[in-house]
Structure 1
Amino acid sequence: MLAGWARLMAQHPRLVLVMVGLSVLGSIWVTLLGVNFPGIGKLGPLGFQSNRNDLISPRLDWNQRFINWQKGFPGTWDFIIVVDVGPDEPGRAEKVTAARAMIDQIGPALQKDPWVKRAVWGFDSNSVSPKAIRLETLDESKPTDDFRFWLQEMRSSADLIASASPQAFLASVLNQLQQTESAEDADETQAIAGLRQFAAVLNAFNTALRNDSDQPTDLDKLIRESQPATWNYLVSDNGRLYFLRVTPRHDEGSLNALEPAIASVRNIIADMQSRHPGVTMGMTGIDVVETDETAVVNFDSTWTGALTGLCMFGLLVMAFHSWRMPLMIMLSLGVAILWSFGFTTVFVGHLQVISIVFIPLLLGLGIAYGIYLASRFEWCVISMRTMHRDTRRRWWMSFRPWGRAY
């Protein structure tokens, strides 16, 4: 096959050069812009897939569970912004104040960002959904924080939340009071908590009775307003780390759908850190880490490939004592790499964090074959002094032992 290819190049050099040039242009076009084919769809452009899970077979049981978790549970694509106020040492109170001030600014800024669907940096204890009662199996052996305290308050107010009307709630309270009076082991703490909630309801009823306007009284709002608002930040048990949870919007037209959201959130973080230089803050998450790894690999592979090409060209110049043959070898190697990109675009469509390093590998393998072929051709040129008539035989003798060896 190689001998036949050599014979074709020797007999029709211009045709071969035209075919090579057109194929190179086609490879560049499909790699950078893509081509629409009727009945097949669009091929290209070549993208980069940062999802490491695509490297693993989805048929594996444990990987299938991970895929189901990503698809079935909300928040698996969320970003987590972490604010570190430092260890418990003198001056930490000032850091906590500065961190909370920055969180109060970055939270609304994230909410307004077009690439952010939702940002959560805290909650009002009095506005927690009644559905939180389902968390009553929370492990109470862990250090208690404000969230657990107010969750206990909600748990003790289960009857109030579950009652369909104020009359039903009053009937439920009366029934519980009757049972408490007859029980010998009544818990005094629970009774006080229940009376406290009952007092808030009575205050709301009293306000409703004194309503002189024509508008109906919003009893639920009055009950909530009778309790002081308590804002709770998302903070670790030791109080050192503050968290913000960001739900991003996906860019459906991009291969890495979360890259624009990550860049936008990082711009907001950089702006806030410039306003609060004493606060340490960063962002993490599965896709955030994978995007960072992708950027590093792209940068390293690009510069590694360029440096490898320059070093090889320098070695070839020193080995052949000329510029012409090294330039021809590097040009042929560049054509082969462009063909590889076009082939990858058509049959695969994207690169991975592992497959992107194939450029330095191609350079190393290609130059090994190129040096042998160029050296063999020079030997044939020296052995056969006639020019045009023996060109075919030179190529044939150059390719034949190379094909047998490899």
Structure 2
Amino acid sequence: MRPTKDERFRREVRDWLETHLHGDFAALRGLGGSGREHEAYDERLAWDRHLAAHGWTCVGWPEEHGGRGLGLAQQVVFHEEYARAGGPARVNHLGEELLGPTLIAFGTPEQKARFLPRIRAVEELWCQGYSEPGAGSDLAAVSTRARRAEDGRWVIDGQKVWTSLAHLADWCFVLARTEPGSARHAGLSYLLVPMRQEGVEVRPITQLTGTSEFNEVYFEGARTDADLVVGAPGDGWKVAMATLGFERGVSTLGQQIGFARELEAVVALARRNGAIEDPAVQDRITRAHMGLEVIRLNALRMLDGTGAQGPQASIAKLLWGTWHRSLGELAMEVAGASSLVAAGAPYDLDDFQRLFLFSRADTIYGGSDEIQRNIIAERVLGLPKEPKR
């Protein structure tokens, strides 16, 4: 039988990655994952720009916006093959997978012309200004405010927290309250704010892993142009929710390949140190394999034709967040007592220790388990909303 179009495309992606993940880029394989975003940052940035130069960024974007216009099946193929090849974590994820699709859906022609080419070429990097000290999982409690100055520009005051890679970003898409006296979902706007200006202060947060990918961001009189609001002023909640839908879209299929590789490493360790002989460990490994297959099938079932996901995406978040946290716990059980001791001074962690520590946050970031269950109950099952206290 002749190979199908998708099979030919899979071979094309696989061959390109095999050819180009060599030379200076060979050492990048597998670097930069969760809790390890500090690894070879400059080299990974160069790799992302290499991808861009060869047309391998923004593969799902429409061709008129600089993408390849790939259908859903081929996007899945690309992300899976990229992960299988050990491609390093992408430094442009927030721009390419979150903001770019949001601008394509809601942006003005001028905003698209201004920002999309620079995202595709990896010339400008983005961070996400959503969470606040009093508005994490309850995002509707946002208190960061933006007002119009006499010159028409937006002036932003407030604090964001857990802002991934803010210390490296050129721009931030910020959810801010722009209507005085508004509450909850009303009166919010989605603003595009330059990070490199007076009035923006970034303070890194040291995590359990000893690294600082997350940050606090303080806006004190920061400014952005009048026309850099995405969607209508006051309609930011709809735009922000669309961005979260894109976040849980097709690119997560590659994430699951990484999960499978982590599970294989845990199994290999169990074989080396004899933990595999323990029936309880065997049972947990079997359940982990089954759970990973459920995650993949569920993700494929819930994707729509755009690569985004609706409220049902909360099911996927619950599945993979809980599964990955459990994998970290399994890794520590398999490693045994040695897992309690750092590999070197002052705080040198091995891959299993880093997996365990970072995965403690998996059920919190991106929407905590409690919030995901509320979304499923209210928006999918149609149950009454949780009473407000």
Q: Classify the TM-score, shorter chain.
A: under 0.3
**Bigger Cα Rg:** 1
